[in-house]
Amino acid sequence: MENEKRIRLGICTPDGPVYRRLGQLAELWGQEMCIRLDIYPAQADSPGDADLLFFEAGEGEAAVDQWAAGRRAASHFPALIALVENSRQAIASYRCHPNALLQRETDYAGLAAALDRCFPVWSPGMIWLDLLYQRERVRVPLCQVQYVEAQGRNTRLQCAGGMIEVNKPLGQLAELLPQPPFLRCQKSFLVRMSAVAQIQSGMLVMFGGQEIPVSRKQVQEVRQKGELWKSGF
């Protein structure tokens, strides 16, 4: 597994519940995208060495101007995501040219969409698998892996771009896959929980249409662990 870089995400808000909710959603996002993420409370006058920074656009024009001045003066300034409650705050936030806008009372999908607009900033923190495929070394981003399947001494990886079979046993590969977002659903399979569309008749049905057989006992375990992880969404 490659890449030791950690992405620092600062949340600048005096509102404790908002900070905790954003922190929880960001932690889930980091797990889903397989990114090493450090989340911390930031201050308006001292954003630290953040790569990504959430800030309150509703604290007045002076506060927004402070962020704008900081962006102009700094040689390195984090990607800004403005937390807004209405169109007036959204318009005011444009004074500091935020990378994205985000509703303060957001859900997981809203946060993920805002962070997608900052891809060049956090992409260096993505974790990759370095594997042998058809006698060549290939690098596979973990966030693209949907499930893995044992094939004798080899392992098949179903990725967003297609299937590859690598010269590595499932047991060794499983040690490289963080849990969550991956889950060992039976002896021969690990699945990404967000790639499971539904569970029915002893089968995990993936969004790609593939069906993975599991026992009744395993179905209950997969459902419980999956629901526990997804409850943060």
In a shared domain, residues 45 and 87: yes
Question: Which domain CATH number covers 21?
Answer: 3.40.50.2300
Spell out the residues 6+ positions from residue 177 whose beta carbon is closer than 8 angstroms to its own: 142, 145, 148, 190
Predicted pLDDT of residue 116: 95
Q: Which amino acid is at 127?
A: I
Q: Sorting pLDDT into bands at 50, 70 and 90, what band is 74?
A: low
Which residue range(s) make up the domain with 62? 7-125
Question: Which domain CATH number covers 187?
Answer: 2.40.50.1020
End-to-end C-alpha distance for the chain, whole angstroms: 27
E-strand spans in 33-174?
A: 37-41, 52-56, 79-84, 100-103, 128-133, 136-141, 145-151, 154-159, 162-166
In a shared domain, residues 115 and 140: no
Q: Please report which residue ranges of 74-140 form alpha helices under DSSP H.
A: 87-93, 108-116, 119-122
2 within domain boundaries: no
Q: Is the pLDDT of residue 68 over 60?
A: yes
In a shared domain, residues 115 and 137: no
Q: Sorting pLDDT into bands at 50, 70 and 90, what band is 56?
A: confident
In a shared domain, residues 108 and 138: no
In a shared domain, residues 107 and 158: no
In a shared domain, residues 111 and 135: no
Q: 21 φ, ψ to 5°?
A: -65, -45
Q: Please report which residue ranges of the chain form alpha helices under DSSP H.
A: 16-33, 61-73, 87-93, 108-116, 119-122, 170-174, 216-230
**Beta-carbon neighbour count of residue 149 at 10 Å?**
19
Stated pTM of the model: 0.81
In a shared domain, residues 160 and 56: no
In a shared domain, residues 113 and 28: yes
- Number of domains comprising the chain: 2
Q: What is the pLDDT of residues 106-135, one digit of tens each?
A: 999 999 999 999 999 999 999 888 887 777
Residue after which a domain boundary falls, among 125, 159, 189:
125
Predicted pLDDT of residue 207: 85
153 within domain boundaries: yes
Predicted pLDDT of residue 110: 95
Q: Sorting pLDDT into bands at 50, 70 and 90, what band is 39?
A: very high
Asked whether 10 and 172 are in contact (CB, 8 A), the reply is no
211 within domain boundaries: yes
In a shared domain, residues 64 and 107: yes
Q: What is the pLDDT of residues 128-140, one digit of tens each?
A: 888 877 777 888 8
Distance CA 80, CA 53 (A): 5
